[in-house]
Structure 1
């Protein structure tokens, strides 16, 4: 298969960089975290055997520059960016869409705003903490992350964020499982996120961040960390680190404080697949999708790995995504 073609799309307040590969109906992949389109590098070619696969860097990330670098971010605007890509790449037909983490939040807003443009949506662990019974605790977490970020800097804020994500909030009833998903067991203590294969870290390397933040391999692959990665992986890790201040400072507070229109989602649940990682049980990123699956009666599909299963189990993750997209 030949490499992807790339382009730039002018949207309100930003220019989006996107890549397209494959042939067939459109599948738009919306990344989460701070990795951008490169998060899909290990699965996009396999998905492109069945779809025209479009990936992109969300506004403010990597190659998608903001007109105003200090602009506050809104979920609705990120969802509109995805809509503009659908209009460009699939103007006459609704498309299939996948979103993970913060990208899943934008995708859900797009579904509620423009359901006519989405044939099927698969979302993996959207951090919609406002739907949870203990939402006030998570608002307090976001406030601590924000205060730490401004007072002490990026890595201390990341540590606060990671610790909060590990905690089992409990109290949410288990969802009915989809036919292809195994029965859900009761929440247990959060396991460590499954690490991706990586070189041995230097003695002074930073500790591994928990779910929704880059893996240890990505964090350690900085010039001062003494770790060698293949050129493509090293470039991805550098970009991930460069995106982190923007992600922690503006994406996390905007997206984790977003409250979806659950009534609207219920009316559109026939085209929605809610997914979580098999290894995420008991962690905060797991709970909103599980809560919504029970509320909407859709069942919950489990993907390999944890919140970063797309990185740690790319082949198996891609296989599960293809099945979920086909219904």
Structure 2
């Protein structure tokens, strides 16, 4: 395993930490949640045998610092960050992009606004709940999470959020019945994950889960888009928008190993599924 080349990129309102591995056509990986670049290491090292793999910490996460720590977050701004990295690493050449969760929402917006810069996008469980028929229910969930965070603090807010996302949470323990033991390298990142949760719950989740993609425009770009969901998260809230969009666009929903965080729990198998998705 070769150590990545590490860089810093100034963008509007933030400085992005990014890492580059391998050689070949550019593949940009956009993480979701609070894991940042570290959450993608398992698949990035494997994919670097075939691609120049770029990963980064989204603004406000881990080593990507905000000029204003209290700044509101917007999907368009995060998508523009991804574009700036493409311009830096693959100027003028269409690239492949993978996004997971909130990162998949940024990838969708990038496809909608700058399709000429993208050859193919794989979006894994983008929680664009506004496209669902019961969107009002999920809007209310986000409001409950925000109110709980404001009045009772982080962990109660996380419990409300987890209950709203999962189809099989154990009401006695608050744990998902589909949880699996994380690999050691993933478990070691727990401190980083916890450190980023207030920012994620307070800024990212409300902004990203209120985002509505332009479905008519997305239909015209569906030949460049692969929608994916976890085999173990069928029926859960983050899975449902991917399934809805695939049906709406008339494309096949790809099923990847694991659940919503399959890239962390099943990195080898997930990387192979991603490789196949980009090969078409």
Q: Using structure 2 for the length normalisation, give the TM-score.
A: 0.95
Counterpart in the other structure of 1:136? 136
74-83 or 280-289, which deviates more: 280-289
**Deviation sequence 1:93-133 (CA, Å, 0-9, x none):** 10000000000000000000000000000010000000000
Counterpart in the other structure of 1:215? none
Counterpart in the other structure of 2:279? 326
Pairwise CA distance, 1:43? 1.1
Counterpart in the other structure of 2:19? 19
Give the ranges of 4+ consecutive aligned residues of structure 1 lying more than 4 Å apart after TM superposition.
none
- Kept in 2, the 8 Å contact 1:123–1:273? The answer is yes
| 1:286 is the counterpart of 2:271 | no
Pairwise CA distance, 1:29? 0.1
Uncovered stretches (5+) of structure 2, i.e. residues with no partner: 169-175
Uncovered stretches (5+) of structure 1, i.e. residues with no partner: 169-190, 199-228
Counterpart in the other structure of 1:308? 261
Instruction: Map 1:1-327 to 2 at 5 A.
Output: 1-167=1-167, 192-197=177-182, 233-234=187-188, 236-327=189-280
Q: Using structure 1 for the length normalisation, give the TM-score.
A: 0.82
- Kept in 2, the 8 Å contact 1:19–1:54? The answer is yes
Distance 1:167 1:136 in 2: 18
- The root-mean-square deviation of aligned C-alpha atoms, in Å, is 1.5
Counterpart in the other structure of 1:216? none
Distance 2:213 2:205 in 1: 16
Distance 2:118 2:8 in 1: 22
- Kept in 2, the 8 Å contact 1:123–1:275? The answer is yes
Distance 1:286 1:241 in 2: 23
State the secondary structure of the residue aligned to 1:259.
coil
Distance 1:279 1:116 in 2: 34
Q: 1:197 to 1:80 in 2, by over 3 A?
A: closer
Distance 1:76 1:193 in 2: 33
Pairwise CA distance, 1:238? 1.3
